[in-house]
Chains A and B, each alone.
Chain A
Amino acid sequence: MTAPIIQIQDLGLAFDGFTALDGVSLDVMAGQCIVVCGPSGSGKSTLLRCVNGLERFQRGDVVVDGTSVRDCRDLPRLRRGIGMVFQHFELYPHMTVLENVTLAPIKAKGLSKAEAERVALHYLDQVGIADQAGKHPGRLSGGQQQRAAIARALALEPKVMLFDEPTSALDPEMISEVLRVMLDLARSGMTMLVVTHEMGFAREVADRIVFMDRGSIVETAGTAQFFSASQTERAREFLHKVLAKI
């Protein structure tokens, strides 16, 4: 049996006295898609940011593909292997889509411009917006921007992808085009840790669903079990609220 590609071990983090994460442990095997859900402020974004070392934690550790984030001496190198997608896309507004996608492959990975553009166009094509490569992000629809952001992360050919509410800033008609890309990615075997309240997506591809509240994992269950028979009252309540909204 191989080791999990992400091991989150008893993670604890406080922002000046306020406990945002309180002993979170979670293993993700290569090729798995784990969905994380929970109410606002429960620490989901903070948890994802600990995985690629964007947040300093005080307790526990995260081990990604054998590298301890706590002891990591070369964070840029670690982060290159971990793609991240944000709620507000965070494309660089002053660059074209192609420049957005090629920046890190050129500067961080050392690819030539031609090689980086070839890789970028491959992934832009995969997310269905190769024809938008020359435009600035501000000229794209929200759904196209988020797909460009996914291509930017994929262009580094990461082993793991982190998604932080990738569709919650989108208009309803654009949500499905982004979810479609994510579904394909999950089915192609990408390891994914996804914070989302899109329960339809979770039902389709999630191997497990993790429910967080107040900085802790309250419940973790196989997808079918989570929907049919949540163990905890809080998870059931949350599920009702989320499903009622759709």
Chain B
Amino acid sequence: MNYQFNWAMLITEPYFGWIADGVLTTLHLALIAWCIAFVLGVAVGSCRVSGSAVLRLFGGAYVELFRNIPLLVQLFLWLYVAPQLLPADTRLWWNRLDSVPYWTAVIGISFYTSSRIAEQIRAAMNAIPQGQFRAALSTGLTPVQMYRHVILPYAIRIMLPAITSEFLTVFKNTALALTIGVLEITATTRKIEAWSFKGIEAYTVASLTYLATTVAVIGVMTWLERRLYIPGLIRRGG
């Protein structure tokens, strides 16, 4: 093998700057998308289990739509098709933005992930005993107060492990953003390879980024699980 390793190039400019930008883009893209997805997912998941047939229908349609179209296809739809549906002046404003691909990726990944979080919320709420709902209502809480103070906090504790794995998925899914022109870490790696023919070094950095973040996320979530741990909670059947 006559490939000449040159690890030192990774800390020389312009490569170092590119890598730093790529890593940061991956991180904030994942973080922003995940936060939006979480809020949307809680809202849609609550619709899925609400007493109103209209809300349940809306929630069901939302989940089926965003969960079943491949993320890659959704990204292209958001980039090329969705702007056509905007009023002309809004479309103009949108197209003039500096970072259209970036925000398209945020939107696409958020909606896709929110449908998956909605399903997790629904499953967690269905795992909560009926008696908890009855107890909360019997004390005179309104349904909204019941969800806000009793059911959701309980459900989120049940689904914390699922939320962790969902976050890791979002994080890996950000790599798809390169297909619509976002210079996240994987795209940056390809750029470095094209520029310097030093692909192995660059791909190593990308892999390490994903690995390190995964380890960090698992660490944070383990800490959070311990903090939110419900002492002595034994799940009973029925």
Contact = CB atoms under 8 A, between A and B. Distances in A.
Contact of B141 (A86, A108, A137, A138): A108
B231 A136 contact: yes
Chain B interface extent, by class: 20 to 34
Name the prevailing secondary structure of the B interface residues.
Answer: helix
B145 interface: yes
A102 to B, nearest CB: 11
Name the prevailing secondary structure of the A interface residues.
Answer: mixed
B230 A86 contact: no
Interface stretch (A30-38, A89-97, A235-243): A89-97
Contact of A107 (B137, B145, B232): B145
Interface string B200-238: 000000000000000000000000000010111110100
A240 to B, nearest CB: 29
A229 interface: no
A64 to B, nearest CB: 13
A93 B154 contact: yes
Given A90-B129, A139-B232, A77 B140 contact: yes
A104 B231 contact: no
Contacts of A197: none
A109 B129 CA distance: 25
B153 interface: yes
B139 A152 contact: yes
A54 interface: yes
Nearest to B143: A76
A104 B139 contact: yes
Contact of A109 (B136, B140, B150, B232): B140
A82 B137 CA distance: 11
A92 B132 contact: yes
B139 A103 contact: yes
Nearest to A135: B231
A86 B135 contact: yes
B56 interface: no
Contact of B131 (A80, A82, A90, A152): A90
A90 B154 contact: no
Interface string B31-57: 000000000000000000000000000
A20 interface: no
Contacts of B190: none
A193 B145 CA distance: 27
A40 B157 CA distance: 34
Contacts of B234: 138
Interface string A61-86: 00000000000000111011011101
A243 B153 CA distance: 43
Given A88-B129, A91-B135, A94-B230, 20 more contacts: A75-B137, A76-B137, A76-B142, A77-B140, A79-B137, A79-B138, A84-B139, A90-B132, A90-B135, A92-B150, A93-B154, A93-B233, A103-B150, A136-B230, A138-B230, A139-B232, A149-B135, A153-B139, A156-B139, A156-B140
Interface of B: 129, 131-132, 134-142, 145, 149-150, 153-154, 157, 228, 230-234, 236
